[in-house]
A and B are shown apart, each in its own frame.
Chain A
Amino acid sequence: MAAYQLPAELLIDTAIARRIIAEFIRGHLRQTGFERVILNLSGGLDSALVAFLVAEAIGSDSLLCLLLPYRTSSVESRADAETVVAQLGCRSMLIDITPIVDGYLETALGGEDVERVRRGNFAARARMAVLYDQSVPWRGLPAGTGNKTEALLGYTTIYGDNAAAFCPIGDLYKSQVRQLAAEIGVPQRILDKAPSADLWPGQTDEGELGMTYADMDRLLYWLVDRRRTRGQLEAMGFGAPQIERVERLIAASEFKRQTPPVAKLTTRTPGVDYLYPRRRPAPRAPRAT
């Protein structure tokens, strides 16, 4: 395939980014009292990079990767995930989620014709349920593997793949994920293949988004990070329909990036005017005198 072109304006200093992400990972473990991390390893680029970053931050012995295929998942994805596990030397666990997903879709719903997006979302939420359950015996903090491109576009399953305790690469566009992944040693096969949510056979992100990640990331960068107006973006060469579509996707998915609103009734309401750090130290008993 053609060499991937990383847009120049998106290039990051990978050395400093790696150090900040490592601090972030260690900092969150310290604050939460965990020593280990667990994540869902799909065989794709994002989760492979997070696995490498976690291993770099706390050592591969402290990382458990879950491989959670559904019966339609691609065989290559699983092979690629296994390559990552072998390369890092971390612990892994393979759990086929087909009985969970089909137990609902086929048995409980009695084979009703369920559209593929619903199937995909249900599978993503089954993976979340397994991730959080396995975090208990492993005593690990669940790491999110989502990136900034998909978060902004809402290209995530709410309470599925976007559910996690902390998100090490959530502020990196897909192009920057690729730059960092190449730098840190993610296997070439994973870097080269077409990004896919793998929710149904043949699905590719770029096919669904209707744009290459390079173009999408440039557009998002100039629109969101650099606050360019629609007219300025058009003058830069972005098509009006593309700009409009992306703006619509971003606006329509604000709810996926926030906690749900609570109906305000009392004088102090969680998330509204009761605001604390996520990991609030418990008040200590006064020292005995």
Chain B
Amino acid sequence: MTAASTRKGRLRIGLGQLAPALGRVEDNFAAHEEMIDRARSAAVDLLVFPELGLTGYLLQDLNAEVAMATDDPRLTALAKRAGPMSTVVGFVERAPDEQLLIAAALMEGGQIRHVYRKAYLPNYGLFDEQRFFGAGNRLSAVDSRLGVRLGLCICEDFWHLPVPYLLALDGAQVLVNISSSPGRDVAAAVEGGLGSAESWGTIMRAYAQLTTTFVIFVNRVGVDESVTFWGGSQVIDPAGDVVFAAPLLESGLFTVEIDLDDVRRERTALPLLRDERPEFVLRQLERLVREQAGVPQEPD
């Protein structure tokens, strides 16, 4: 029996908004361990760390040096330390075929239960991820020991509509996005003072509402080279309302309790997922792909 089930569908979420040190894997493991211990003391059910929390973000050619296989003893030790607490960590995975991938691991019961590989790698503006990393090819929700189905994704994945859509269709009740989002655009006209924070907030509230799921967003803080990451981790409920927002730019462990029954209530009142038509979407996608590939159309 998990801690969560004793509280009838209530989950205590821990947002591990830390500042990874670039390339200093040992230091970052230590920071994760320290926060895991604190989260366990605070009876957290699900602790989420940011994208590449174990390595730092702007790695460039350090990518190969900090990469680890999913059976790396350091990851296993971290999973054991998390014990019964479900924990999501971000790292560079060296896959069996030697590809380097940006990965998120769900650790449960002292083991790695699920690994998700970032599917959409940004390569524009200040981003250069496709030079250094391969892209994941599989997106699926995963059943957690917490009695809830989770949809893991990583940063830029959330700037592509299929990701929240597919995870919700796959049964996710909670979308978890781990990020290393650089702060930019300090124009006075921006609400809240930071353009990147405002645009993320807008799309995440929309996703929560459109998929009627919880959204947990954990973004790192700290500095890599020119870039300062803005934090501002959030939990949004299935009605699209912000349940909790961590401060901008400050590191820390932030906890918030959510009521999973919000999913039932929202989906009863607003059965958008029931009315989704994946077969319709699939037909249109097949047509579009055919057209764009120049394949002659079959007559209707």
Binding site for B on A (CB under 8 A): 9, 11-13, 15-17, 19-20, 23-24, 26-28, 30-31, 274-281, 283-284
Contact = CB atoms under 8 A, between A and B. Distances in A.
B19 to A, nearest CB: 8
B186 A24 contact: no
Nearest to A287: B26
Interface in B34-90: 56, 58-62, 65
A13 B62 contact: no
B249 interface: yes
Contacts of B225: 277-278
A146 B71 CA distance: 48
B186 A277 contact: no
B211 to A, nearest CB: 30
B245 interface: no
B248 A16 contact: yes
B30 to A, nearest CB: 13
A24 B223 contact: yes
Interface stretch (B157-165, B187-195, B260-268): B187-195
A277 B58 contact: yes
Nearest to A12: B186
Contacts, number: 69
A280 B23 contact: yes
B22 to A, nearest CB: 5
8 contacts: A16-B193, A28-B223, A30-B223, A276-B60, A277-B23, A277-B60, A281-B21, A281-B24
Given A19-B249, A276-B61, A27 B189 contact: no
A203 B248 CA distance: 42
Interface string B199-230: 00000000000000000000001111110101
B180 to A, nearest CB: 14
A107 to B, nearest CB: 42
B248 A19 contact: yes
Contact of A13 (B21, B193, B228): B193
A13 B22 contact: no
A20 B23 contact: no
A26 B60 CA distance: 22
A19 B230 CA distance: 10
Nearest to A16: B193
A19 B223 CA distance: 12
Contact of B65 (A19, A23, A283): A283
Contacts of A28: 223
